[in-house]
Amino acid sequence: MKEQIMNTMTVNGKDIPIETGDTILSALGKAGINIPTLCHIEGLPPTGACRICVVEDTKNGALIPSCSFPASERLSILTHSVKVLKARKTIVELLLANHPDDCLYCDRNLDCSLQKLAEELGVRHRRINSNRITQYVDTSSPAIMRDPGKCILCGKCVRTCEEIQGVSALDFSGRGSKTKISTAFDISLNLSTCVGCGQCVNACPTGALVERSSIHDVIEAIQDPEKIVVIQHAPAVSVSLAEEFGLEAGIDIAGTMATALKQVGFNFVFDTAFSADLTIMEEATELVQRITQGGVLPMMTSCCPSWVKFAETFYPELLPNISSCKSPQQMLGSMIKHYWSEKMNIPQEKIYSVSVMPCTAKKFEIEREEMVSKGTSDIDASLTTRELAKLIRMHSIDMKKVVPSQSDLPFGERSTAGKLFGASGGVMEAAIRSAYWMITGTELENLVITELRNKQDYREIAVDINDLKVKAAVVSGLGNARKILDKIKTKDCDLHFLEIMSCPGGCINGGGQPKSIDKDAVIKRMKALYAIDKNEEQNVSHKNSAIIELYDKFLKKPGSHKAHELLHTTYHKRTDLI
């Protein structure tokens, strides 16, 4: 038999295997040669903007961009020839010629692609000189800060915002050396169509786009002896925080984190997965009501604040479809200030309520005017996972030596269903488990809904609940969401329930998450959440005893008047747009 011949390409004199569809860059990556890039985004068509990834064609000495050039049998390339290294170094030097050079004060210090490249290529003095850029820093958005001076115009934010998220809040403007990234008409970010998802922050190789930090507000509160500082941590945080401390992706360190948070000085540590369970009770009730009483369908989830802002901006006609439930963060914030404070006999104004979220848009959500109940804001400050890591490092805590502990009761008890909120499809899975129980009085035979756990951008299922066939779907990534939303707009859709998460893959890939080098980090985080669901016993929200107690003692029943007052919200069409 003839052996199948594998195609190869010659790299530095040796043959490496190539597959159909490979670019030079991807083929080299598989062969263990990681060519540096500044503009490449995995999964999107190459743009070829940064030219850092050039390699030399031995045939004619030409430099070709490896990110966009198809790998082929005929090619023979040098990846680190004198010419290649000189070109890469010069390009980095060109970028540094007018860079602000304030690395020590930069949010991305030691975590900056440009800094790393300069170091790798041995840039040790300023060969090419020009005037430093100083530009106005846009601090208008509660979620994201933009410093155009540090921008290297790689365009990753533009492509992420347009091609992945379908928002297009940012684009190139100007020409030639005056090119810059700007919003439409150069208005500030808070007035733009930006939904604060923070995917651009994750994509940004430098410190040009960062979250608006609340670390100092939190530290001040902790240091204030008058304040009782409580913190809640979102489901996706505990399965990704480890990466910030050099551990492998996909390890759940909820216990370690709880102790560390206490060491940092938080008086109480709560779990947002508790209020995820609470959300399920309210949301499942609302869904059942909408279905049985002829409400607006499909009902859409409301946990994701950037999705909510996206709808308010681009799909105001669909606002009645969005569940009136507040997000778990806001629900817990509200319960802390209105229920727990009474229970603990702590005056509301003494409580400083912090959340740590995988998200930048949560910073925007806490500032929404609807998120104030009875004159008190539900949450006082929201940190990202990255900020939490900084806070822990600042307190010199050795995470390897921390003895794990539990989150504080009553809001430390959770079901694994609440924990599933961290991954796309999780809200749906948890909601179906409880809705089934609410209507039939019995548990689903098989709690794990595998149809919701595949990696498709859009997943649809139909569940038979008594006589009713409930059709539900899950979508993540706002660009993907647009497709189904357009169908709903034209009534070309018979769904009952739709879960939408802004970030592709859900909160585990949120805009506030660690910038992992591991390409599979998101999948590993997801698997960690599924492992928790598999290994623990308490798998449904409605059996969370703390939830049951909360309803018994305070809220009465899901959808009650009190629940509506404290746990539900409203939305409005955003008209402050040009």
Give residues in contact with other proteins (CB under 8 A).
38, 46-52, 54, 62-63, 65, 67-70, 83, 86-87, 90-91, 94-95, 97-98, 127-130, 152-153, 155, 171-172, 174-179
Cis peptide before 298, with omega less than 30 degrees from 0?
yes
Q: What are the structure tokens assigned to 86, written together?
A: 């000189």
The structure tokens 């439409």 sit at: 184
Nearer of residues 70 and 404 to other proteins, judged by Cβ:
70
- Beta strands, E only, 195-279: 209-211, 228-233, 268-271
Q: Which of 286, 312, 387, 429 is catalytic?
A: 286
Q: What's the distance, Cα to Cα, between the start and end of the chain in Å?
A: 68
365: annotated active-site residue: yes
Q: Which of 67, 157, 303, 325 is catalytic?
A: 303
Q: Which of 39, 67, 151, 507 is catalytic?
A: 507
Provide the minimum distance between the beta carbon of 538 and other proteins in the complex, in angstroms, as a whole number.
51
67: annotated active-site residue: no
Nearer of residues 52 and 204 to other proteins, judged by Cβ:
52
Provide the minimum distance between the beta carbon of 38 and other proteins in the complex, in angstroms, as a whole number.
8
Provide the minimum distance between the beta carbon of 176 and other proteins in the complex, in angstroms, as a whole number.
4
282: annotated active-site residue: no
Provide the minimum distance between the beta carbon of 456 and other proteins in the complex, in angstroms, as a whole number.
24
387: annotated active-site residue: no
Nearer of residues 114 and 287 to other proteins, judged by Cβ:
114
Nearer of residues 91 and 531 to other proteins, judged by Cβ:
91
Q: Taking CA 44 as the corner, what is the angle to CA 43 and CA 47, rounded to the nearest 5 degrees?
A: 135
562: annotated active-site residue: no
- According to DSSP, residue 66 is labeled T
CA distances (Å), origin 292, targets 287, 325, 491, 563: 8, 18, 20, 20
How far is 352 from 223, CA to CA, in rounded Å?
A: 11
Provide the minimum distance between the beta carbon of 103 and other proteins in the complex, in angstroms, as a whole number.
19
Provide the minimum distance between the beta carbon of 520 and other proteins in the complex, in angstroms, as a whole number.
27
- Exposure class string for 353-383: b at 16+ Cβ within 10 A, else e: bbbbbbbbbbbbbbebeebebeebbbbbbbb
Burial of 13 (0-12, 13-18, 19+ CB in 10 A): exposed
Long-range contacts of 7-16 (CB under 8 A, 24+ apart): 7/73, 8/73, 9/71, 9/72, 9/73, 9/75, 9/76, 9/77, 10/58, 10/75, 10/76, 10/77, 11/76, 11/77, 11/78, 11/79, 12/77, 12/78, 12/79, 12/80
451: annotated active-site residue: no
Q: Which of 89, 337, 362, 363 is catalytic?
A: 362
Nearer of residues 87 and 447 to other proteins, judged by Cβ:
87
Nearer of residues 86 and 534 to other proteins, judged by Cβ:
86
Q: What are the structure tokens assigned to 218, written together?
A: 């939190």
| Positions marked catalytic | 283, 286, 303, 323, 362, 365, 370, 507
